[in-house]
A and B are shown apart, each in its own frame.
Chain A
Amino acid sequence: MSPRLRISVSGVRGKVPQALNVEVASRFASAFATYLDKGKIGFCRDSRPSSDMLGMAISSSLLAAGLDCVDYGLLPVPFLQFIMGRKNFKGGMAVSGGHNPEDWNAVVLLGEKGNYLESSEGSEVFNIYEAANFKRVSWKALGKRRENTFRMEPYLEKMSTIIDIERIRKANFKLVSDPCNGVVSNFLQPFADYFNLKLISLNNQPGKPFPHPPEPSQEHASQTEAVVKATSADFGFLLNSDGSRLSFVDEKGESLSEECTLPLCLLSLENRIRKAITTLSTSSLTDWAAEEAGVNLLKTKVGQSAVVNLMVAEKAGAGGEGSGSFALSSFSLAYDALLSLALVMDLVNREEKSLSQLVSSFPVFFMKKLRIEVPPERIYKIMDSLEEAYSGENPDLTDGIRIIRRGLWFQIRPSTTEFILRIIIEGKKEKDVDLAEEEIRERMAK
């Protein structure tokens, strides 16, 4: 994996210390503080070994530019975004690697309501970062740092207005959780107590090494599958390290694709929202679920910031991605895995069906996700030649190249976080998917 720093509108991420280190974090915070000029910043971090270190560099740089820093300590980013939606902040910063490996980390930038920056705002921050002409104030005007604790009650109470809390409490769900030793672990028990759940917790010690890559997916679900079977739980779930992504294991102990999470959330909100945002990389399951739920679905580029920003711009009720992410605009401007979990519990309860029964009504699609390592200097040459090759099929170029054929679609796009091409192919027939893969590989080799 490349040691280079990956820069995007939501922040910077990379391997510690080769790409992301205290120097980069402090300069980045100085640039953001210079951009914001003054005010109060909400800050939180995850439990990765490098997060306190990077957080200290950020705090110092904010103070030096005269901005106050309210430090919520160990807190999942969606929780910070929830608070920011309700309080007066000038902006937010978080050190949280999300789904990235343990020796990676990320510095995330947030707007005043916990939203993501627009790309024009992001590039202004990077311009300041590069020019390194940072705002500095004298000792009299230095910012102040204050530690604060996140109060779970308002968060849970807001959630209880969205779902049928009493029915869930009566249901006595028995669930198996795997938060991957992420910071969200600390908040699962209060969540379970509030909803009257019996929680069987795996890997819930923040600060301990990750037991598996912190990405909720079927390949990391074996532990949860085994425990769901052994304990006859109602279902199980996996979270990424900062509680923004979610995937499920059904009551039979079989893991569901993370592509199921967004459709389940949309079905749970049937006839309650009219418009939702997803990406061009998300499974057709979501199109199906949106139709079932009476939701008009708009599509944009991959990434939390693109989806959430369009959600705001379009006044859409919800947004999400095939990575197991879901945001509800009346709740917060964040992908929030615990909210998604509550919605799915609500659906299971209301429909009086098990998770496997719910999913069995889903249409069947075959999806392949490929990642192909490409030297950075070759990426755009390959993309150009593919664009040429597919020019006759009316390609959607919003995010890489996306082609729709009868019963099949595929997308080829460069990753924004690694030097790879991501290829997603989905079709009704497995054979069509295999043929499409063969075709794309052939055209790439040319």
Chain B
Amino acid sequence: MIESDLKISISGIRGIVGRSLTPQLIIKFAEAFSTYIGGGKIGVGSDTRPSAEMVKCALLSGLLSGGASPIDCGILPIPSLQVYTREMKLDGAISISASHNPIEWNALKLIKSGGHFLYPYEAEELLDLYYQGKFTRVSFPGKIVSEKKAFVLHEKKILDFVDAGIIKKRKLKVVIDPCAGASTPYVVKFLEKLGTEVVCINCRPGGEFPRNPEPLAENIQKLCHTVRKERADVGFAQDADADRLAAVDETGTPIGEEHTLALAVDYYLQKKQKSPVVVNLSTSRVVEDVARRAGVKLFRSRVGEINVSRCMAQKRAKIGGEGNGGIIVSDIHSCRDSFSGMALLLEYVADSGNRLSELNSTLPHYFMIKDKKQATFREARRILNSLKHKFKQGKINATDGLRVDFPGYWFHVRPSNTEPVIRIVVEGKDEDAALKAYQKIMDEIRK
């Protein structure tokens, strides 16, 4: 099977510039989106990829053609665009960002009124319009409005929510690594407004990303090094569209995205308010321990921001997220937001008077293995069935692929939404337990 480098799916549209992601295709997709939304005001933001200008021009023209009045917000983090969409009561928005994909890729992410991503069934309706090519096309299009202050709305909500006074008193020094992405024009000022002294690395946009944009421990060595060299209190790494966050402690050690989420949830429950917590099925158990310690309920949703935020609304949860560093603070907006995450963690360090490594050491430490394997839809179904049979003694949850819990370990196997692969997450109480379980699962999958 030859894999296409164009991905049109319910998560939006993604492709390689110069190969599959052409102006004509983007225009057509924008016309479909504009038709689907029914015109009105549609926000547009982008990350810092060099292809953003080409993509944006096509996008704006397609939105106009479909009867919408686009608001061009320039370079803007995805959570800021989501907050702006909600606060300004826009009818929808599109973010131009391939988040953690390599530089030759770009993508459109679709946001509806209220500032949330489209639900899968809504996205399917949009795809129907796209494939049928039945668009509204107007004779007298509206005008493009340019907006340079969209980030301000987001920033103000966070500054109103956290106690910048406490942070300032502690005179914290922060190293930030925005990966020269969408957060770059804003993040230094933002951290200064929170009362910290800021050192910025990888903060010159244009050209290649200075590192792999995923804020995984192996990609943020320069950040760790700079934290040690600058004797900083905290280091933060964002991905290119600034929805995900990973923290580095004062010793220059990455605490991991799972613990970054857990610490933010921990502090929120201690000092902001007690509320149920929602995380996705692939997130570490460490968040369960945090919730138990605070005496609140924890619910697990399907993977994907829209699934988590929807479940949060149903369960009246105020805090939650995804274990890959996607922290959701509903007081700001129920979307993954690295800025809210940084604010909470800084307030935690300042308020507690402890070092970040000390705070992290209060959490239990599990051992996690993440893997993926090529599998067609049919193979994935066979694999899930046989795993379900093999591990039937465990506690089974089949809402999104298969998750099975045992006292000493758990695993989650699910087909990807965007690629013909299955994703495998295994977590054990220690390395030994995790490895044993992983081997057992892989043996079964390979059968």
| A348 CB to nearest chain B CB (Å) | 40
Interface 1/0s, chain B 18-38, versus A by CB < 8 A? 110011101110010000000
Please tell me if the beta carbons of B53 and A26 are within 8 angstroms of each other in the complex. no
Known: A17-B138, A50-B140, A53-B61. A23 touches B18 (CB 8 A): no
Bound Cα distance from A56 to B30, whole angstroms: 13
Please tell me if the beta carbons of B53 and A139 are within 8 angstroms of each other in the complex. no
The closest CB in chain B to the CB of A25 belongs to: B61
The closest CB in chain A to the CB of B141 belongs to: A53
- The B-contacting residues of A in range 52-77, CB under 8 angstroms, are 52-57, 59-61, 63-64
The closest CB in chain A to the CB of B51 belongs to: A139
Please tell me if the beta carbons of B24 and A27 are within 8 angstroms of each other in the complex. yes
Please tell me if the beta carbons of A139 and B18 are within 8 angstroms of each other in the complex. yes
Residues on B with beta carbons closer than 8 Å to the beta carbon of A21: 65, 137
Please tell me if the beta carbons of B18 and A22 are within 8 angstroms of each other in the complex. no
Please tell me if the beta carbons of B51 and A22 are within 8 angstroms of each other in the complex. no
With an 8 A cutoff between CB atoms, is A37 at the interface?
no
- The B-contacting residues of A in range 129-157, CB under 8 angstroms, are 134, 136-145
With an 8 A cutoff between CB atoms, is A373 at the interface?
no
Q: B27 contacts which of A16, A55, A57, A142 (Cβ < 8 Å)?
A: A57
With an 8 A cutoff between CB atoms, is A49 at the interface?
yes
| A61 CB to nearest chain B CB (Å) | 5
- The B-contacting residues of A in range 179-196, CB under 8 angstroms, are none
With an 8 A cutoff between CB atoms, is B62 at the interface?
yes
| A131 CB to nearest chain B CB (Å) | 14
Interface 1/0s, chain B 53-65, versus A by CB < 8 A? 1111110111011
Q: A50 contacts which of B55, B58, B62, B141 (Cβ < 8 Å)?
A: B141
Known: A17-B65, A49-B140. A60 touches B51 (CB 8 A): no
The closest CB in chain A to the CB of B55 belongs to: A60
Please tell me if the beta carbons of B64 and A53 are within 8 angstroms of each other in the complex. yes
With an 8 A cutoff between CB atoms, is A115 at the interface?
no
Please tell me if the beta carbons of A139 and B57 are within 8 angstroms of each other in the complex. no
Residues on A with beta carbons closer than 8 Å to the beta carbon of B144: 52, 56
Residues on A with beta carbons closer than 8 Å to the beta carbon of B139: 15-17, 49-50, 103
Chain A: residues with Cβ within 8 Å of the partner, total of 35
The closest CB in chain A to the CB of B70 belongs to: A56
Please tell me if the beta carbons of B49 and A26 are within 8 angstroms of each other in the complex. no
Please tell me if the beta carbons of A22 and B50 are within 8 angstroms of each other in the complex. no
Please tell me if the beta carbons of A144 and B53 are within 8 angstroms of each other in the complex. yes
The closest CB in chain B to the CB of A102 belongs to: B140
Residues on A with beta carbons closer than 8 Å to the beta carbon of B57: 56-57, 59-60, 63, 145
With an 8 A cutoff between CB atoms, is B198 at the interface?
no
With an 8 A cutoff between CB atoms, is A279 at the interface?
no
Bound Cα distance from A142 to B31, whole angstroms: 23
| B51 CB to nearest chain A CB (Å) | 5
Residues on A with beta carbons closer than 8 Å to the beta carbon of B140: 49-50, 103
Known: A21-B137, A50-B140. A64 touches B60 (CB 8 A): no
The closest CB in chain B to the CB of A132 belongs to: B24
Bound Cα distance from A136 to B65, whole angstroms: 24
Known: A23-B27, A53-B65, A139-B103. A64 touches B138 (CB 8 A): no
Bound Cα distance from A143 to B50, whole angstroms: 10
Residues on A with beta carbons closer than 8 Å to the beta carbon of B293: none
Would you call the interface of chain A mostly helix, strand, loop, or mixed? Answer: helix
| A423 CB to nearest chain B CB (Å) | 31
Residues on A with beta carbons closer than 8 Å to the beta carbon of B22: 64, 134, 136
Residues on A with beta carbons closer than 8 Å to the beta carbon of B166: none
Bound Cα distance from A136 to B26, whole angstroms: 14
With an 8 A cutoff between CB atoms, is B17 at the interface?
yes
Please tell me if the beta carbons of B19 and A136 are within 8 angstroms of each other in the complex. yes
Q: A61 contacts which of B23, B56, B62, B143 (Cβ < 8 Å)?
A: B23
The closest CB in chain A to the CB of B142 belongs to: A49
Please tell me if the beta carbons of A26 and B58 are within 8 angstroms of each other in the complex. yes
Between A54, A57, A139, the greatest number of chain B beta carbons within 10 A of the residue's beta carbon is seen for: A139
| A336 CB to nearest chain B CB (Å) | 29
Known: A50-B139, A52-B64, A145-B53. A23 touches B19 (CB 8 A): no
Known: A17-B65, A57-B58, A64-B23. A52 touches B143 (CB 8 A): yes
- The B-contacting residues of A in range 9-26, CB under 8 angstroms, are 15-17, 21-23, 25-26
Bound Cα distance from A243 to B49, whole angstroms: 39
Known: A22-B27, A136-B22, A142-B54. A57 touches B61 (CB 8 A): yes
The closest CB in chain A to the CB of B64 belongs to: A53
| A16 CB to nearest chain B CB (Å) | 5
With an 8 A cutoff between CB atoms, is B122 at the interface?
no
With an 8 A cutoff between CB atoms, is B371 at the interface?
no
Bound Cα distance from A30 to B62, whole angstroms: 16
Residues on A with beta carbons closer than 8 Å to the beta carbon of B26: 60
Bound Cα distance from A95 to B60, whole angstroms: 16
Known: A49-B141, A139-B104. A22 touches B31 (CB 8 A): yes
Residues on B with beta carbons closer than 8 Å to the beta carbon of A53: 60-61, 64-65, 141
Please tell me if the beta carbons of B17 and A138 are within 8 angstroms of each other in the complex. yes
Please tell me if the beta carbons of B24 and A63 are within 8 angstroms of each other in the complex. no
Please tell me if the beta carbons of A139 and B27 are within 8 angstroms of each other in the complex. no
The closest CB in chain B to the CB of A135 belongs to: B18
| B256 CB to nearest chain A CB (Å) | 31
Known: A17-B65, A26-B58, A59-B57. A139 touches B17 (CB 8 A): yes
Bound Cα distance from A17 to B50, whole angstroms: 31
Bound Cα distance from A53 to B19, whole angstroms: 24
Please tell me if the beta carbons of A142 and B65 are within 8 angstroms of each other in the complex. no
Between B57, B60, B64, the greatest number of chain A beta carbons within 10 A of the residue's beta carbon is seen for: B57
Known: A17-B138, A103-B140. A60 touches B54 (CB 8 A): yes
Q: B60 contacts which of A56, A103, A136 (Cβ < 8 Å)?
A: A56
- The A-contacting residues of B in range 57-113, CB under 8 angstroms, are 57-58, 60-62, 64-65, 103-104, 106
- The B-contacting residues of A in range 154-180, CB under 8 angstroms, are none
Please tell me if the beta carbons of B61 and A142 are within 8 angstroms of each other in the complex. no
Residues on A with beta carbons closer than 8 Å to the beta carbon of B27: 22-23, 26, 57, 60
Bound Cα distance from A25 to B57, whole angstroms: 13
Please tell me if the beta carbons of B141 and A138 are within 8 angstroms of each other in the complex. no
Please tell me if the beta carbons of A57 and B23 are within 8 angstroms of each other in the complex. yes
Residues on A with beta carbons closer than 8 Å to the beta carbon of B141: 49-50, 52-53
Bound Cα distance from A56 to B65, whole angstroms: 11
The closest CB in chain B to the CB of A56 belongs to: B61
Please tell me if the beta carbons of B50 and A23 are within 8 angstroms of each other in the complex. no
Bound Cα distance from A60 to B21, whole angstroms: 12
Interface 1/0s, chain A 28-47, versus B by CB < 8 A? 00100000000000000000
Please tell me if the beta carbons of A56 and B18 are within 8 angstroms of each other in the complex. no
The closest CB in chain A to the CB of B60 belongs to: A56
- The B-contacting residues of A in range 94-114, CB under 8 angstroms, are 103
Interface 1/0s, chain B 390-429, versus A by CB < 8 A? 0000000000000000000000000000000000000000
Between A27, A49, A55, A56, the greatest number of chain B beta carbons within 10 A of the residue's beta carbon is seen for: A56
The closest CB in chain A to the CB of B104 belongs to: A139
Residues on B with beta carbons closer than 8 Å to the beta carbon of A49: 139-141
The closest CB in chain B to the CB of A15 belongs to: B139
Residues on B with beta carbons closer than 8 Å to the beta carbon of A22: 27, 31, 61-62, 64-65
Please tell me if the beta carbons of A60 and B23 are within 8 angstroms of each other in the complex. yes
14 contacts between A and B (CB under 8 A): A17-B138, A22-B62, A26-B58, A50-B141, A56-B64, A60-B55, A60-B58, A63-B54, A138-B18, A139-B50, A139-B103, A141-B18, A142-B18, A144-B53
> Ordered nearest first, which 9 A-B pairs have the shortest CB separation?
A60-B57, A56-B61, A17-B137, A60-B58, A53-B64, A57-B61, A63-B54, A138-B18, A60-B23
User: Measuring CB to CB, which residues of chain B are less than 8 angstroms from any residue of chain A?
Assistant: 17-19, 22-24, 26-28, 31, 49-51, 53-58, 60-62, 64-65, 103-104, 106, 137-141, 143-144
Given A53-B141, A60-B23, A64-B18, 10 more contacts at CB 8 Å? A16-B139, A23-B28, A26-B58, A52-B144, A56-B60, A56-B61, A56-B144, A61-B23, A139-B51, A139-B104
User: Measuring CB to CB, which residues of chain A are less than 8 angstroms from any residue of chain B?
Assistant: 15-17, 21-23, 25-27, 30, 49-50, 52-57, 59-61, 63-64, 103, 134, 136-145
